[in-house]
Structure 1
């Protein structure tokens, strides 16, 4: 097969959209990607599968005069969302949808890979088709398994995320943090249950949980620099079994968001202090647990990001928009904590938000995104196209 055309890419995107799979179960997706990649020019390519991470896929492109290895990552998993777009190529998998646009991500990556399969790059390139971005932090798992050892370790890493708030095909980026880091928090409060008519003989964890939640609200408003920002959201509270029995236990589940790892750690410390205070005040046992996994802040490398932004601003074929940081999470942050790189937005122009059941990205963003990324990567390798 020759280089993938725009028509090919649209067909690929629609197939991927119709066949979404959840984290670590992207087996059909893996096989489809493998078939597409095997269909392009193999002269410079080396394909690698990972037995311990079976849905992952890597492709190495041998450069003609390499000075570095440039990495490009795309995520491949979907979300447990029931699609409501009514599209003819809507998800055929009940309760699963590419509601975050990873079908767009994969298609753009295939378009870029296809270009360089026909136009050998000067530098070596590694394409990483990553499972489990939405959950189970596939990037961290791959890194810890040593996937990026030896020649497979990029000197710099790039990746995109689609953005329905930007015009189709526009490139958005910023210096510093693009996405927040996220940490799950679970709080278990243990007291003593009893009859509703005899509160003096019980230890009410509904009251203790209410006080804990109220006190936590002051962390961001009074313990965080307003110009730095942070978020604590408790989305779930379970306590009690019936109206006339005092609850002896309560469980609160939530999430922390911060634009730097330092901010996340500060909020974690304050939450522990509040938990200790509530435990003392209410004579309760309060157990608090945190899980960040690979969802570190996506902190773009200064030097590489400055080069990327300067190129995008000057390139006549790229519409560049400087964006603000987002409090959404992305596990590419873990890889960027180990390997310098840049994450950027690709505009897909839609009225629906990411993760919505009605998300319908504009497909015109695909060829525009491929073109801008190819032009940057060629520029990065000393082949200026300006």
Structure 2
């Protein structure tokens, strides 16, 4: 079946919701106005229960099906924006300086609101659906905070699903894969301590800059020589800081960056080797190095059975030719991974057509795919938990 007719009927309403959210972006856990807007719409739709303040500004809505007892399926959308200055002069351009919905979370929230409206009207399913509106995906780990507060247990969620828009792919084209679909994202900082000296007399010091450069180069061997060629890892040095003057060799330097992996064993190897490489390269030059490694979002791992099920649902909505379940893993990260660690489920990408890329100041969500995403959410519920 194509997009659900009733959802198509209120497509213009969905556009208005999305553009309102777009014009009023909020960062991390400060999604107060967005959460209030979501709550207001949910009350208007007549959902059965609304819990606010979970994960600081998260909203969870419960809709009971009319088809008898059954489990609870979770559907998740993220609400937060990014600290980016929007450059396009859209009618609904961001009103908040330096803040912008540059990743489509305004669209994700809209798709879930559209599903909420339809499900509250029809209730053609058994059990319950938990609609999860989450703050702080962009670096705050809002999904982890909500899970730590007992999200899955409180609402007895048995499985959970999410969608992310995908620029550069045909509108309505669904992509996923069983297993690891997005990477773990860690950060690190390495502090190098040498001995300061006059730049004209380097033999009196230990050049922390040169040591830092040698460490930066040696760290790339972790990927090229310590990682199985059939596995994936990325070690990116994104910052090097040292010195205050042209004629002074600084006694200290620092370098920092990110590590991306798709396998926990590879992640542990990188962590161990990073300390060994940094400390020993520094020691070889008479300096010392200390690594501060911070684990970030874990690998996003789709349950194979749930992925296959959701792909079948996507085919109902968009057609089999518009579903690919063999997409290559992506080295970006997503905090939906925390929810998938607690419950089986799957994360899908939904093509939104040609546009600026994610996290770009010219990006804008394509409102034409909102009914597709909302229909997918609805059919997940109705297919997973059919009415008796």
Q: TM-score, normalised by structure 1?
A: 0.93
- Cα deviation digits, residues 12-65 of structure 1 (max 9, x gap): 0000000001101111111111111111123xx2000136x3311111122342
1:12 alignment partner in structure 2: 17
Correspondence for 1:187 among 190, 198, 201: 190
* Structure 1 unaligned spans of 5+: none
Q: Secondary structure at the match of 2:151?
A: coil
* Structure 2 unaligned spans of 5+: 1-5
- Maintained 8 Å contact 2:86/2:93: yes
Residue 290 of structure 2 corresponds to residue 302 of structure 1: no
2:76 alignment partner in structure 1: 73
1:48-63 matches, within 5 Å, as: 48-50=51-53, 53-63=55-65
Once superposed, what is the RMSD of the aligned Cα atoms?
Answer: 1.9
Give, in angstroms, the shift of residue 383 of structure 1. Answer: 6.1
More divergent stretch after superposition (164-173 vs 207-216): 164-173
2:357 alignment partner in structure 1: 353
1:269-284 matches, within 5 Å, as: 269-284=272-287
- Cα deviation digits, residues 160-212 of structure 1 (max 9, x gap): 11101221122211111111110011111111111112212211110110110
Give, in angstroms, the shift of residue 155 of structure 1. Answer: 0.8
Q: Distance in 1 between matches of 2:23 and 2:316?
A: 37
- Cα deviation digits, residues 331-381 of structure 1 (max 9, x gap): 111221122110001111133111001112321111122122322321112
1:209 alignment partner in structure 2: 212
Q: Distance in 1 between matches of 2:268 and 2:102?
A: 30
- Maintained 8 Å contact 2:164/2:348: yes
- Maintained 8 Å contact 1:77/1:134: yes
Q: Secondary structure at the match of 2:160?
A: strand
- Maintained 8 Å contact 1:183/1:292: yes
Larger RCO: 1 or 2 (CA < 8 Å, sep 6+): 2
- Maintained 8 Å contact 1:111/1:370: yes
Residue 158 of structure 2 corresponds to residue 155 of structure 1: yes
Give, in angstroms, the shift of residue 314 of structure 1. Answer: 5.6
2:225 alignment partner in structure 1: 222
> What is the total number of aligned residue pairs between the two structures?
378
1:193-342 matches, within 5 Å, as: 193-293=196-296, 295-313=297-315, 317=319, 319-322=322-325, 323-342=327-346
- Cα deviation digits, residues 100-159 of structure 1 (max 9, x gap): 110010000101111111121312111111110001211111212223333x13111101
More divergent stretch after superposition (100-109 vs 141-150): 141-150
- Cα deviation digits, residues 47-103 of structure 1 (max 9, x gap): 00136x331111112234233110111111100111112211111111110001100
- Maintained 8 Å contact 1:350/1:362: no
Give, in angstroms, the shift of residue 317 of structure 1. Answer: 4.8
- Maintained 8 Å contact 1:350/1:361: no
Q: TM-score, normalised by structure 2?
A: 0.93
Give, in angstroms, the shift of residue 292 of structure 1. Answer: 2.1
1:39 alignment partner in structure 2: 44
More divergent stretch after superposition (96-105 vs 119-128): 119-128
Residue 139 of structure 2 corresponds to residue 135 of structure 1: yes
Q: Distance in 2 between matches of 1:26 and 1:241?
A: 40
Correspondence for 2:368 among 357, 364, 382: 364
Q: Go from structure 1 to structure 2 and tell me whether the alpha carbon gap of 1:201 and 1:316 turns closer, same or farther (over 3 Å shift).
A: closer
